[in-house]
Amino acid sequence: MFFFELLQVALGVRDRLSASPSEVEWADIFQQSGRQTLIGIAFCGVERLPQEQRPPKELIYKWFSRSAWVERQNEKKNHICIEVQKWFGENGFPSCILKGQGLAQYYDQPLRRQSGDIDIWVKGGWQKVLKFVYSFGVKRKAVYHHVDFGRIDGVNIEVHFTPSWMYNPFKNYYLQKWFKSKEEQQFAHKPKIQTNKHKTDSNNTSTRVKLEHSNNHSI
């Protein structure tokens, strides 16, 4: 109960918990936020709680440390998103970022949202895109909607030919048709990601990343 109430506090739905959790209950809330990959979001709730309802100081310090780690990971991923999207564009493939790093921008504090790999939708058709990706030594087998591009600075990159798909062939036909109608709008987005700390400039070259599956190419 307290875990969901804390998320409501984080989202601004409520301003306090229904009661003050015990140390054991706070430890359980912290563990549950970790299992649900909501460490950073839940910590936003901790910050908004009145002083008398906050967890013990030692747990706050631990929570803050984990939340700061999430922010650093997202800052790194944001830079990689910019570099990868810029690189595909320079090679004639317009693109846009899907899911994780893109959806995080809808959060009050985007850097607090935990995400996994980076998914990038690349225009050009699966045959053309796959040929380009395989030219860099990628050996992974492609599936209907994407191919694993490899790891960049420890982050896995999935190159999508289409954002998603459906098992039902008739429904999938209309879904792909809808995606096609949105291509120009989506690929017009510039490779810039806003964060809750700073604006990331698409011309930033301080983070140069290297394809871990290749010794000959970097972006």
The amino acid present at 207, given as its one-letter code, is T
Q: How confident is the model at residue 11 (pLDDT cuts 50, 70, 90)?
A: very high
> In the predicted model, is pLDDT for residue 84 greater than 80?
yes
pTM of the complete model: 0.76
Q: For the residues 19-40, what does the mean pLDDT come to?
A: 95
Higher pLDDT, 193 or 69: 69
DSSP-H helix ranges across the chain: 2-10, 23-35, 39-48, 57-90, 99-103, 126-134, 169-187
Mean residue pLDDT of the chain comes to 84
> In the predicted model, is pLDDT for residue 210 greater than 50?
no
Cα separation, 119 vs 105, in Å, equals 15
Q: How confident is the model at residue 106 (pLDDT cuts 50, 70, 90)?
A: confident
Percent of the chain residues topping a pLDDT of 70: 86
| Range from 36-50, 107-121, 181-195 carrying the lowest mean pLDDT | 181-195
**Residue 57 Cα to chain centre, angstroms:** 30
Q: For the residues 166-175, what does the mean pLDDT come to?
A: 95
Q: Quick one: pLDDT at residue 55?
A: 95
Tens of pLDDT, residue by residue over 142-165, are: 888 999 988 888 889 999 999 999
Higher pLDDT, 109 or 193: 109
Q: Quick one: pLDDT at residue 104?
A: 78
Cα separation, 90 vs 208, in Å, equals 15
Q: For the residues 18-41, what does the mean pLDDT come to?
A: 95
Q: Quick one: pLDDT at residue 213?
A: 36
Tens of pLDDT, residue by residue over 39-70, are: 999 999 999 999 999 999 999 999 999 999 99
Q: Which of 48, 79, 107 is closest to 202 using CA atoms?
A: 79
Percent of the chain residues topping a pLDDT of 90: 52
